[in-house]
Amino acid sequence: MALQSLDITRRSATTTRPPSQRRTPEVAKLIDVSKCIGCKACQVACMEWNDTRDAVGTNQGVLDNPPDLTENSWTVMRYAEVETGRGLEWLIRKDGCMHCTDPGCLKACPAPGAIVQYSNGIVDFQEEHCIGCGYCITGCPFNIPRLSKKDSKVYKCTLCSDRVAAGLEPACVKTCPTGAIVFGTKEDMKHHAAGRIADLRERGFAGAGLYDPPGVDGTHVMYVLHHADRPELYNGLRKDPSIGAMVGLWKGAAKPLASLALALAAVGAFFHYVIKGPNEVPKEIEKEFEDEKRS
């Protein structure tokens, strides 16, 4: 497993380069929303594989269960009933980490090595390095990571990095009874999506298309949407997601400036020490203070 360390392309809050950059096939998970029946087998398989179990919640009056992602539910089905030109449509979207090529979480993370990106495209959290600050939650354009109250660490979908490293598909992909979730190289997934989109267009979904947002340089979890022109129909899927301006400024432009300021401060302190020497307190003044304290 140690060789896995050579497969890293990016690591949070780290200025040293990864030891090597091995080339592994770029993988992707494709979620065909038009094929999903909302059975939640993926949710169960995810928990089963990752050995997480969520608390039994309460009925919210809708099928969404649990109602939101949690530190134990890394994927949830979001159900939307919307009126479109075709009448009432029931749009079911499997929500979870999108594994962005340009991950906002990784950029925002201040803990070295708490978030890594493997060369196959998977963005993974390394909980032993996580400091629980929650910056990744702010940095994520899709609002995915969740902070655990139990151990104050952040959790999200790993795209089953352990399974993929062993040559298997993610657990949700394997279990999907309708074949709505498929997995392969990103290239193959785009090809598969093209076939599905052509089929959907033939069936009258003129706006059918692939969701692979360029604002984050594409994702390694992509959707086939029947209304790709209006992704917000699918429970508020963002039309053009990008990393927040503050995260970009703070971790982009401000960072070299801060490093420069630090270096200048260090150099200044060194020269101050050489020229002026340490700040000595005369014996009399020290005695005066001590006497004052005693009295």
- Of 45-64, binders to other proteins (CB under 8 A) are 45, 47-49, 53
Closest CA to 121 of 106, 108, 136: 106
252 binds other proteins (CB under 8 A): no
Gap between the Cα atoms of 1 and 161, Å rounded: 12
Q: Which two tokens stand for residue 170?
A: 């993610």
Q: Which two tokens stand for residue 45?
A: 């398989």
Closest CA to 11 of 120, 97, 126: 126
- Of 117-146, binders to other proteins (CB under 8 A) are 118, 124, 126
44 binds other proteins (CB under 8 A): yes
Per rule CB under 8 A, count of chain residues that contact other proteins: 45
CB of 126 to other proteins, least distance (A): 6
72 binds other proteins (CB under 8 A): no
* Residues 1-40, mask of contacts with other proteins (x by CB under 8 A): xx-xx--x--x--xxxxxx-------------------xx
Question: 190, exposed or middle or buried, with CB in 10 Å at 0-12, 13-18, 19+?
Answer: middle
Residues 68, 58: contact at Cβ < 8 Å? no
- Of 83-112, binders to other proteins (CB under 8 A) are 112
165 binds other proteins (CB under 8 A): yes
Half-sphere exposure of 9 (CA within 13 A, CB side): 15
- Scanning 171-179, 188-196, 208-216, 223-231 for contacts with other proteins by CB under 8 A, the matching segment is 171-179
Residues 102, 69: contact at Cβ < 8 Å? no
CB of 16 to other proteins, least distance (A): 5
Residue closer to other proteins by CB (options 179, 214) is: 179
Identify the residue among 72, 119, 161, 219 touching other proteins (CB under 8 A).
161
166 binds other proteins (CB under 8 A): yes
Gap between the Cα atoms of 201 and 93, Å rounded: 19
Closest CA to 29 of 156, 173, 192: 173
267 binds other proteins (CB under 8 A): no
Residues 180, 33: contact at Cβ < 8 Å? yes
Residues that bind other proteins (CB under 8 A): 1-2, 4-5, 8, 11, 14-19, 39-41, 43-45, 47-49, 53, 112-113, 116, 118, 124, 126, 158, 161-163, 165-166, 171, 174-177, 179, 258-259, 262-263, 266
